[in-house]
Structure 1
Amino acid sequence: MTRLRTNRSLIAGSALLLACLVPATLTWIWRSGRSPLIDIAHRYAPISFSHPLGTDPFGRDIASYVLTGAFNSTVIAVIAVTLATVIGTALGLVAAYGGVRGKAVMSTADLGLAFPPILIAAMLVTAQGASATGEILAIALFGIPAQIRITRQAAHSILVLDYIAAARMAGLNSIDTILRHVLPNIAPILIVHASTSLALALLSEAGLSYLGLGAPPPQPDLGRTLASYQIHIFDHPLLVAIPGVTVMVLVLGFNLLGDGLRDLLERPFNRLKGQPS
């Protein structure tokens, strides 16, 4: 409990994420995921009680529009990271056992690192058109190679320990060894990597949608919001600042959360490997 109370990164990251995602989730639920209605008669309305951040060039409430976009962007990032974590962890465990299959997995992972998410998304858009599914697949495919490498390294450090050899001598097969001994012990490092990967995934999502490679309208997201508002950077700078600051807060929050989780979980993992903490 003492370490948790003094973990400033974890506290700050959680506070930033809660401050942004709680109102974003409530707004999404309140509006049933729909974009705010266009109201040309009230375009560029100033800050007021009914419009806490004013309205945009189409008369939409900026606060509702950006918060809904933040929720959508975060959901896409979470799904992509979850997909990359599950697939990358499974392949990383295969690679940790070595052999022909392990070498094939690592060779494929090295090849995957050569393809940036923008190129993958461009190919998917060409094949099936712009969609949230293509965006999720592009971000996930980009994250899988790094997940494979981290899982392989962490799992290998466990597989060489004496109690794993004893478990094998007792007749425990590879699947049971992974489920009982490897996965529970490498879970801390996988959790930390997933939390920090969310920051990169969110940035990738914003960049892809900014370029028009993400989910098409009318569903808002942060990247397309920035792209549509950027022409007003000089006459209405608040339009650009609000989604930009939202992206910054979310990315910073996930990064701080990952740092805090690393500080909280790395000592038990090091003790398990017999390393000084």
Structure 2
Amino acid sequence: MTLHRAPKSLLAGSVLLLGCLIPATIVWIWHGGHAPFIDIPNRYAPPSLTHPLGTDPFGRDLASYVLTGAFNTTAIAVLSVALATVIGTILGLVGANGGKRGWAVMSAADLGLAFPPILIAAMLVTAQGASATGEILAIALFGIPAQIRITKQAAQSILVLDYISAARMAGFGSVAVTIRHVLPNIAPILIVHASTSLALAILSEAGLSYLGLGAPPPQPDLGRALASYQIHIFDHPFLVAAPGVTVMVLVLGFNLLGDGLRDLLERPFARNEESLS
């Protein structure tokens, strides 16, 4: 596939994400994942060549703080979605095969959808305290029930095809059929869902941190930055705009990336499905 034939949404999402995450990674490595140095005499400095976005109430370079927070927020979102995808896919495949185990899995997924996400996060934080690990587990628990349902529906559309029956008649068990035939054919759907789930995970991470349920200070975080700087929305609006716009760029980038991947993968997947049927 040539670059000019790629979906425009895929290109736009890639540009937004790379434009944000490449400098974020560089700044994160430069500062070792920590917040910039405190410089009280230089606080509330206006934008300049030394401080492109100015400084915050502690005299820290705002651009460095926000970019480091963007890296941390994205890392937590990626780990959460990866965990939800792996666990949800496995359980969804079990649910697609039916039986008592399948019924138990789908019942648990329905129960998970009934609980408000913020309640799960609050329970985890109460149990082990505010931490990045608790935040990852909470966001992953948000996504597992939906991942189970999507995987089950996609797998069942493959399991009813004739070549699956032929594979079973040839002596292949459920695990072999799932690994060799089902999983490769539903992979495009899982990839698209994971990419769009990252946008929701970014919002969830920012929201949990804003409420004080995320990783504690001094680790930079976009949600906590918004919560800390919101009192300056009228006297120093740039303090609120910088992390807010960064969250918006990340969410928009992952949404566009997911839309582009869907457009890119749905046609080959549809052709493959027609040939199999």
TM-score by length of 1: 0.97
Deviation of 1:5 (Å): 2.3
| Letter in structure 2 aligned against 1:43 | R
The corresponding residue for 1:148 is 148
Partner of residue 90, structure 2: 90
Task: Report Cα offsets for 1:129-160 as digits up to 9, x if no partner.
Answer: 10111111110001000000000000111111
Aligned-partner Cα distance in 1 for 2:83–2:142: 11
1:272: which partner in 2?
Answer: 272
Deviation at 1:4, TM superposition (A): 6.2
Contact 1:155 1:186 in 2 (8 A): yes
Rounded Cα–Cα distance in structure 2 between residues aligned with 1:271 and 1:108: 34
Once residues 172 and 220 of structure 1 are traced to their aligned partners in structure 2, the CA distance between those partners, rounded to angstroms, is 51
1:9-24 correspondence to structure 2 within 5 Å: 9-24=9-24
- Which structure 2 residues correspond to residues 54-133 of structure 1 after superposition, within 5 A? 54-133=54-133
Cα deviation per residue 1:143-188 (whole Å; 9 max; x = unaligned)?
Answer: 0000000000001111111111111111111111111111111100
Rounded to whole Å, the distance in 2 between the matches of 1:159 and 1:139 is 30
Q: 1:4 to 1:119 in 2, by over 3 A?
A: farther
Please give the alpha-carbon distance, in whole angstroms, between the structure 2 residues aligned to 1:4 and 1:212.
44
- 3-state SS, counterpart of residue 182 of structure 1: helix
Answer yes or no: is the 8 Å Cα contact 1:96–1:156 preserved in 2.
Answer: yes
Is 1:187 aligned with 2:187? Answer: yes
What's the C-alpha RMSD, in Å, of the aligned pairs?
Answer: 1.2
Separation in structure 2 between the aligned mates of residue 81 and residue 39 of structure 1, nearest angstrom: 37
CA contact (8 A) 1:157 1:273 kept: no
The alpha-carbon distance between structure 1 residues 8 and 236, as it changes in their structure 2 partners (threshold 3 A), is same
Q: Structure 2 CA distance, aligned partners of 1:227 and 1:28?
A: 21
Assess if the C-alpha contact under 8 Å between 1:132 and 1:215 holds in 2.
Answer: yes
Any gaps of 5 or more consecutive residues in structure 2? Answer: none
Deviations 1:226-275 (A, max 9, x none): 00000000000000001000000000000000000000111122223329
Q: For this pair of structures, how many residues does the alignment match?
A: 275
Deviations 1:32-89 (A, max 9, x none): 1111111101001111111111100100000000000000000000000000000000
Deviation at 1:6, TM superposition (A): 4.4
Once the two structures are aligned, what percentage of the paired residues are identical? 81
Name 1:139's counterpart in structure 2. Answer: 139
Shift >6 Å, 4+ stretches: none
Contact 1:4 1:264 in 2 (8 A): no
1:221 aligns with 2:221: yes
Matched, 1:258 2:271: no
Deviations 1:108-147 (A, max 9, x none): 1011001222111100111111011111111000100000
Shift of 1:3: 8.3
